[in-house]
Amino acid sequence: MKSIILVGGEGTRLRPLTYQTPKQMLPLVGVPMIECVLETLAKHGVTDAVLALGYLPDRFIEAYPSGVISGVNVTYVTEPEPLDTSGAIRFAATFADIKETFLVINGDVLTALNISKLIEFHHSHGAEATIALHPVEDPSRFGVVPTAPDGRVIAFVEKPPRDEAPTNLINAGTYVFEPSVLDKIASSGRVSVERDTFPALAAAGSLYAMPDDAYWIDTGTPQAFLQASVDVLEGRYAVRAVSGIADGAWIHPSATVDPSAVVTTSVVDRNCVVGANVVLDHAVLLPGAVVQVGAKVRSSIIGPSAVIGSYSVLGATCVVGANVIVAPESQLSGDVRLGGV
């Protein structure tokens, strides 16, 4: 079955990290997220995928010039302008000449969803499109999907206020589509699958949804990216087994960590340098980041080659952009974003 992976968003909630690197190319415990996503698909027998690119497309193409990612043969399709989710699906499907049932995946989601079961559900219900659902505590960040007892979607409400959400079952970003859906997407301009296509299919009664409570996370905010990293470290995202974890921390062999540093539940990626008496807790250090003597970093993401000055204290939740230098003895906490384009 052919698959379209949506990876063309700008990743605004993960800025400044996403100014240089598209969200799905950010390393998650040392491996770009897109590899994790395609590894899951490969496990369900997917051999070919179309990567629907828009934002910083060359970062994907240059990283995988052979067009094989996690064993899946990938075709790159770049939109001339952002077409939004449905526009991107139609553009990619036309390019790949898709004429049979196909899969669509939000490329920033990690999940242990049983895709084969979703495809079976789709066929057995005679659906035109089927959405995987996942229960969450706060549905207001997501597409909320009330269904009838037989799984037919009654409505699709994108990001409603929390107290107006009709259910806590949300769109998990994995879909099965019949090609007939493509004819219902306008052939130019921006079209949203969440705001245009799904509401129209729901009104026509041809949209179904299957709840599933397997592991699931949308990595698109700093808090969620940190949580996804911790989930990989602690084995909750079982699809990816990582070796070399000690005390809940993963330290790349090329990193230099002073023996007096205390590193718990953290990621220290390639070529990072961690000085004496540093404390890292629920921290993610991206390649080449430096944390100088005595600094404490908790629940924060330190971008590539950024430098955290000595005796600084960074608390939940700082995102430090690539190459940013934080002065010694800085004190930063709250929703901090350091660094521009």
Piece of the chain touching ligand GDD by CB under 6 A; list 102-110, 120-128, 177-185, 322-330: 102-110
Distance from C-alpha of 160 to C-alpha of 141, rounded to nearest angstrom: 8
| Contact flags string 1-20 toward ligand GDD, x per CB under 6 A | -----xxxx-----------
When asked if residue 194 is in the footprint of Mg ion (CB under 5 A), the reply is: no
When asked if residue 222 is in the footprint of ligand GDD (CB under 6 A), the reply is: no
When asked if residue 26 is in the footprint of ligand GDD (CB under 6 A), the reply is: no
Cβ neighbours of residue 109 closer than 8 Å, sequence gap 6 or more: 37, 172, 173, 174, 216, 217, 218, 219
Distance from C-alpha of 140 to C-alpha of 127, rounded to nearest angstrom: 26
Residue that the structure tokens 């908790």 belong to: 298
CB of 76 to ligand GDD, least distance (A): 11
CB of 174 to ligand GDD, least distance (A): 9
Which ranges in the chain belong to alpha helices (H)?
17-20, 33-43, 57-63, 84-95, 115-124, 198-204, 222-233
The sign of the CA dihedral 215, 237, 12, 309 is positive
| Contact flags string 68-97 toward ligand GDD, x per CB under 6 A | -----------x--xxxx--x---------
Distance from C-alpha of 295 to C-alpha of 175, rounded to nearest angstrom: 45
When asked if residue 171 is in the footprint of ligand GDD (CB under 6 A), the reply is: yes
Among residue numbers 32 through 61, which ones bind ligand GDD (CB under 6 A)? Answer: 52, 54
- Secondary structure (3-state) at 86: helix
Piece of the chain touching ligand GDD by CB under 6 A; list 33-41, 101-109, 253-261, 304-312: 101-109
Residues 132/172, Cβ–Cβ less than 8 Å: yes
Q: Which chain residues interact with ligand GDD by CB under 6 A? A: 6-9, 52, 54, 79, 82-85, 88, 106-109, 142-143, 158, 170-171, 173, 194, 218, 220
| Residues labelled catalytic | 159
